[in-house]
Structure 1
Amino acid sequence: MRDEKSYIALDDFEHRIVVDCMNEMRNNLIANGKYTDAVDEVLLKIIDAKQKKFKVIYKEA
């Protein structure tokens, strides 16, 4: 079965918010004595994600 990949466009502010939220979720899991493996993997993917520049073209309908 092939893994499906998803892409999302975030600016610097949005990227920081996502990282902060994931880190807060990880801290809550640690405080509750639960496993953080899944959150750790996603957090590393977000932090290590490459930045790609692209143009957005708006067209009137």
Structure 2
Amino acid sequence: MKRKHYVELNRQERRLALNGLNRFRNKLIAAGRYTDAVNELKIAAATVSGSRRIG
């Protein structure tokens, strides 16, 4: 059974998380590695409203 974990973030925390994911994605691109998982997390974090949770 797969577990889901949820994190509740405010606007500033979500912005910091997206910036960190962008930096990590850039490092992966520079190393020639796949960025699929990071892209999915960025989409999930960017499309959720402030009062909802991301998983």
TM-score (norm 1): 0.71
Runs of at least 4 residues off by over 3 Å: none
TM-score (norm 2): 0.77
Q: Select the structure with the greater relative contact order (CA < 8 A; seq sep ≥ 6).
A: 2
Gaps of 5+ in 2: none
Higher-Rg structure is 1
Gaps of 5+ in 1: 54-61
Task: Give the paired residue count.
Answer: 52
Percent identical pairs in the alignment equals: 35
Aligned-residue RMSD, C-alpha: 1.6
- Which structure has the highest helix share of the two? 2
